[in-house]
């Protein structure tokens, strides 16, 4: 299992105009995948501090059998 993050652009108006469109990073623990995955950044060797700087404090587990989530992330 490897850890990855993906950056999404928030389009929700949460506050003043200058706060709109900020990046939102989401963490994933993906079973059966190692190395590069298109659209995801491998963070296995990143510190907890560096992840917190992006706002990533939890990781969603993606099981080998979770076909829908794997397709959504572009993992074959």
**Largest CA-CA distance found in the chain, in angstroms, rounded:** 42
Q: How many domains does the chain have?
A: 1
Domain carrying residue 34: 2-73
Model-wide pTM > 0.85 = no
Tokens of 42: 């491998």
Whole-number Å distance between alpha carbons of 72 and 65? 13
Span 12-56, pLDDT tens digits? 655 555 555 678 899 999 999 988 899 999 999 999 999 999 999
């Amino acid at each position: 299992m490897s850890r990855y993050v993906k950056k999404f652009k928030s389009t929700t108006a949460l506050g003043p105009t200058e706060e709109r469109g900020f990046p939102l990073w989401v963490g994933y623990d993906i079973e059966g995948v190692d190395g590069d995955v298109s659209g995801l950044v491998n963070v296995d060797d990143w510190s907890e501090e560096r992840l917190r700087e992006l706002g990533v404090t939890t990781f969603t587990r993606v099981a080998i059998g979770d076909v829908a989530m794997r397709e959504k992330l572009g993992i074959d």
